[in-house]
């Protein structure tokens, strides 16, 4: 195809052809007479007209289905016209291909996004969306594309947010179908009144935030009670109403001592929990001899019980347990201390290390007050107590089982709880096969 030559070229080509026809006709006139001259002129003009008409017809035909590859061929001026059309069509096609490629890339990127993306038109009808958005809003884009989003997400806060027109702050949208879903919704206007709606799942973050708030409130509350008692006694002693040396004064000092002990225990448990949470696995591990470990736990339990209970240790399957000795001692110690604290005087507490298939299990069974089934799933939550006053009276912090749960999780172990109100409880820490080694004699048995 020739390069474009412009309007001048069209005029010049036409003028040359017309001039040549006129020249030939004039020559015919001079040589053969006027009728030949006029005849030649008519024939020349007819040929020119026919060529134009046939090229025009080719152009009209092509316009019905224009494509770069099928632009007709022409000569003279028409060659110039067809070349220009060819270039233009090819340019448009290339641009279309580029745009399609950009669109495909954009859609596959939006499809892969972990957030929900919806494109809304000026009437807030859905134009396009990714699978995550379909899942979040429970919509089916094959069916729902073109529908107003407000008809599909019938939440008054969401509808008001869409209509607000000020989207600087995201909307926290709570949806509950089966399980709760909290979405952070952002709207970004673009183009001509179109909007990009972005939805991010913040359920976990919201839960953590609530837990954090509850935790701070709980700790403040737990510390406030003993501090109020302490400050009350200090006031009485300071203003001299009760002399420090008097029996009442000594009693006040004892109670103050109890309260400060309670605060210390709480802070120690909080520090233990924070250390457990700040690292993902036990700091150092070793094969711990179970009989030795449990003998220490047993001695501590007897000291805590001070003869009020019968405490029996039975290492049925001697061997080793791989883990962090200090953490394991703290977890087992908490289970045993709970058994002592929630078993009335004269009760029996049985500590057993036994083998269940290839697993190693440490069970603490007591004949204590027991726990109602509804409470069992929540016992390992921080500060969860069945009987608040009993826990306090016996020096509980409400963090013992949270610590146990943490330590066991770090050792890939599970906590199993069975209980009968008024009859007693069984707390079992179940360790996986790869953490336990039983002595050969036991394996054979
Ligand atoms: P606490 O310091 O209050 O004992 P824990 O986290 O150790 O906190 O235990 C949570 C709650 O579980 C206790 O407040 C108590 O109500 C209940 N609990 C734990 N162990 C026993 C048990 N052996 N018998 C009865 N109740 C128990």
pLDDT in tens, 390-436: 887 788 899 999 999 999 999 999 999 999 999 999 999 999 999 99
In angstroms, the Cα distances linking 33 to 25, 26, 42, 61, 237 are 10, 9, 15, 42, 147
Residue 404 alpha carbon to ligand 1 centre in Å: 11
Packing angle, helices 325-341 and 290-305, rounded to 10: 30
- Output the residue whose Cα is nearest ligand 1's atom 19: 338
How far is 10 from 16, CA to CA, in rounded Å?
10
Model pLDDT for residues 133-143, shown as the tens digit of each residue:
999 999 999 99
Beta strands 179-190 and 319-323, pairing class: unpaired
Residue 341 alpha carbon to ligand 1 centre in Å: 8
Q: Are 267 and 183 within one domain?
A: no
Q: Where are the beta strands (DSSP E) in 158-307?
A: 171-177, 179-190, 194-201, 286-289
Number of compact structural domains in the chain: 4
Which candidate, 52, 67, 55, places its Cα nearest to that of 18?
52
Q: Which of 248, 278, 308 corresponds to the end of one domain?
A: 278
Would you state the pLDDT for residue 121? 92
User: Which residue matches tokens 């991010």?
Assistant: 200
Q: Are 342 and 379 within one domain?
A: yes
Residue 206 alpha carbon to ligand 1 centre in Å: 28
Q: Are 249 and 320 within one domain?
A: no
Is residue 371 within 8 A of residue 333, CB to CB? The reply is no
Residue 192 tokens read as: 């001509």
- Output the residue whose Cα is nearest ligand 1's atom 3: 398
Question: Partners of 363 in the beta sheet?
Answer: 352, 428
- Local structure of 316: helix, strand or coil: coil
262 falls within a domain: yes
Question: Does the pLDDT of residue 177 top 80, yes or no?
Answer: no
How far is 81 from 14, CA to CA, in rounded Å?
13
pTM higher than the cut 0.75: no
Beta strands 286-289 and 319-323, pairing class: antiparallel
Dihedral sign, CA of 239, 244, 250, 254?
positive
As for ligand 1, residues whose beta carbon falls within 6 Å of it are 334, 338-339, 342, 366, 368-369, 371, 379, 384-387, 391, 396-402, 425
2 falls within a domain: no
Would you state the pLDDT for residue 5? 59
- Output the residue whose Cα is nearest ligand 1's atom 23: 339
103 falls within a domain: no
Place 2 in a pLDDT band, splitting at 50, 70 and 90.
very low
108 falls within a domain: no
Q: Are 132 and 92 within one domain?
A: no
259 falls within a domain: yes
- Average pLDDT of every residue of the chain: 90
Which candidate, 251, 224, 252, 227, places its Cα nearest to that of 238?
252
273 falls within a domain: yes
Q: Are 294 and 364 within one domain?
A: yes
Dihedral sign, CA of 20, 21, 26, 32?
positive
Which helix or strand (DSSP H or E) is residue 45 part of? helix 34-64
Domain that holds residue 53: 7-97
Model pLDDT for residues 62-98, shown as the tens digit of each residue:
888 887 778 888 888 888 888 888 888 888 889 989 9
Q: Are 348 and 381 within one domain?
A: yes
Mutate to test the pocket of ligand 1, among 390, 401, 425 (most ligand atoms within 8 A of CB): 401
């Amino acid at each position: 195809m020739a390069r474009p030559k412009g309007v001048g070229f069209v005029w010049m080509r036409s003028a040359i052809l017309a001039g040549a026809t006129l020249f030939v006709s004039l020559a015919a006139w001079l040589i053969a007479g006027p009728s030949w001259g006029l005849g030649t002129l008519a024939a020349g003009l007819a040929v020119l007209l026919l060529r134009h008409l046939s090229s025009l017809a080719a152009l009209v035909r092509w316009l019905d289905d224009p494509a770069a590859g099928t632009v007709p061929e022409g000569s003279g001026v028409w060659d110039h016209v067809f070349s220009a059309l060819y270039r233009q069509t090819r340019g448009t096609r290339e641009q279309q291909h580029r745009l399609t490629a950009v669109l495909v890339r954009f859609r596959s990127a939006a499809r892969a996004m972990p957030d929900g993306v919806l494109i809304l038109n000026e009437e807030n009808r859905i134009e396009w969306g990714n699978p995550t958005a379909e899942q979040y809003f429970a919509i089916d884009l094959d069916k729902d594309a073109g529908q107003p989003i407000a008809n599909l997400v019938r939440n008054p806060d969401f509808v008001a947010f869409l209509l607000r027109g000020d989207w600087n702050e995201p909307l926290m949208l709570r949806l509950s179908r089966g399980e709760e879903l909290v979405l952070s919704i952002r709207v970004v206007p673009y183009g001509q009144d179109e909007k990009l709606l972005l939805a991010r799942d913040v359920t976990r973050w919201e839960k953590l935030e609530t837990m954090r708030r509850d935790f701070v409130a709980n700790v403040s509350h737990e510390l406030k009670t003993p501090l109020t008692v302490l400050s009350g006694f200090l006031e009485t002693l300071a203003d001299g109403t009760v002399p420090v040396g008097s029996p009442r004064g000594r009693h006040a000092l004892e109670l103050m001592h109890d309260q400060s002990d309670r605060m210390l225990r709480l802070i120690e448990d909080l520090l233990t929990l924070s250390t457990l949470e700040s690292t993902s696995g036990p700091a150092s591990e070793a094969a711990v001899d179970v009989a030795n470990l449990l003998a220490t736990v047993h001695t501590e339990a007897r000291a805590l019980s001070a003869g009020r209970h019968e405490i029996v240790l039975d290492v049925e399957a001697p061997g080793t347990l791989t883990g962090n000795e200090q953490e394991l001692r703290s977890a087992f110690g908490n289970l045993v201390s709970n058994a002592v604290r929630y078993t009335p005087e004269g009760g029996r507490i049985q500590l057993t290390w036994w083998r269940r298939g290839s697993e190693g299990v440490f069970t603490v069974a007591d004949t204590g007050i027991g726990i109602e089934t509804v409470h069992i799933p929540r016992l390992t939550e921080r500060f969860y107590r069945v009987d608040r006053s009993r826990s306090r009276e016996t020096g509980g912090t409400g963090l013992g089982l949270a610590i146990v749960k943490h330590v066991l999780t770090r050792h890939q172990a599970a906590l199993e709880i069975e209980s009968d109100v008024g009859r007693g409880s069984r707390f079992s820490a179940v360790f996986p096969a790869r953490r336990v080694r039983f002595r050969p004699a036991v394996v054979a048995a």
